[in-house]
Chains A and B, each alone.
Chain A
Amino acid sequence: KQEVTQIPAALSVPEGENLVLNCSFTDSAIYNLQWFRQDPGKGLTSLLLIQSSQREQTSGRLNASLDKSSGRSTLYIAASQPGDSATYLCAVVGTSGTYKYIFGTGTRLKVLA
């Protein structure tokens, strides 16, 4: 059974810092992995989607990497800003069982001005 874990659960950093959020999954047989952002009282916004054949994806100040064999993904945020404050969730789609996203528990990020 696929389990997705995100560490740390919460993180506070001063503005301008580069930071890394971690996501690990127990079953490396995945189709893809997606990083989402959730603002308080809002739905999820898709940030980056990495296919199983890819190693990384980049969008602006965000870079997500995928190491399938070790069951890990990282989301790198460069030059963090207060507007980056949100909860970040990763989710994977496995190749066995029901074709659906399994979500991690999220990392709550606060960027201090």
Chain B
Amino acid sequence: DTAVSQTPKYLVTQMGNDKSIKCEQNLGHDTMYWYKQDSKKFLKIMFSYNNKELIINETVPNRFSPKSPDKAHLNLHINSLELGDSAVYFCASSQGNSLNQPQHFGDGTRLSIL
């Protein structure tokens, strides 16, 4: 009965590889987000999708490409991984894009680049 689930939980890979992180929510929400939490625990939004449409795209390198096949899924694909990409990536969802509803977070994907 997990609300927001991300896979994998841990991802260790070498520099230069391409990897994907999957996110699914079963809350019936129509807005989903990707956040990056760095080693200093600072959390910053990367992308936001509402009804499969991109509504927020922060200054993230274009090596990062989100894909939303439907409202319940928002996957994150990363090309040519770099050392600085090491972080914990959180997926979240909420009802509506007004940000007046609480956001529900997944448990995070810890990405380590060797």
Contact = CB atoms under 8 A, between A and B. Distances in A.
Nearest to A34: B102
B100 A51 contact: yes
Given A103-B42, A105-B41, A31 B99 contact: yes
B105 A98 contact: no
Contacts of A100: 45, 48, 56, 58, 99
Size bracket of the A interface: 20 to 34
A65 B58 CA distance: 30
B13 to A, nearest CB: 20
Contacts of B97: 99
Interface residues of B, number: 23
B90 A98 contact: no
A43 B107 contact: yes
Contact of A105 (B42, B58, B106): B42
Given A49-B102, A100-B58, 12 more contacts: A32-B99, A32-B100, A34-B103, A41-B107, A43-B108, A45-B105, A46-B104, A98-B56, A99-B97, A99-B99, A100-B99, A106-B41
Interface of B: 4, 40-45, 48, 56, 58, 90, 92, 97, 99-108
Interface of A: 31-32, 34, 41-46, 49, 51, 87, 89, 91, 93, 98-101, 103, 105-106
